[in-house]
């Protein structure tokens, strides 16, 4: 895997950070995480179709998915 230089700045709220990277670095990171794989792109198409058909559920936390 190639090196990826990021700028990480802590925010005043200790639960947040800001990460800065340029478009080329973002594309390199996305490719490393597999965001350009055919399966991922198909899942995005399915998610968009579900959203358009109203098959969504708003949640406030990932714990809400267990309900």
Ranges of beta strands (E only) in 11-64 are: 17-20
Domain enclosing residue 27, as ranges: 7-56
Which pLDDT score, from 0 to 100, does residue 3 have?
A: 67
- With respect to residue 61, please indicate whether it lies within any of the assigned structural domains: no
- With respect to residue 20, please indicate whether it lies within any of the assigned structural domains: yes
In this structure, what DSSP letter does residue 31 have?
A: H
Q: Report how many domains make up the chain.
A: 1
Which pLDDT score, from 0 to 100, does residue 47 have?
A: 94
Which pLDDT score, from 0 to 100, does residue 52 have?
A: 94
Cβ(4)–Cβ(28) below 8 Å = yes
pLDDT digits (tens, 9 = 90+) for 2-43: 666 777 787 777 788 888 888 888 888 888 888 888 888 899
* Distance in angstroms (rounded) separating the CA atoms of residues 10 and 2: 25
Calculate mean pLDDT across residues 41-64: 91
């Amino acid at each position: 895997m190639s090196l990826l230089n990021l700028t990480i700045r802590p925010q005043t709220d200790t639960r947040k950070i800001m990460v800065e990277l340029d478009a080329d670095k973002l594309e390199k990171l996305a490719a490393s995480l597999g965001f350009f794989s055919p399966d991922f792109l198909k899942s995005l198409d399915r998610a968009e179709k579900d959203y358009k058909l109203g098959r969504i559920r708003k949640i406030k936390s990932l714990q809400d998915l267990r309900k």
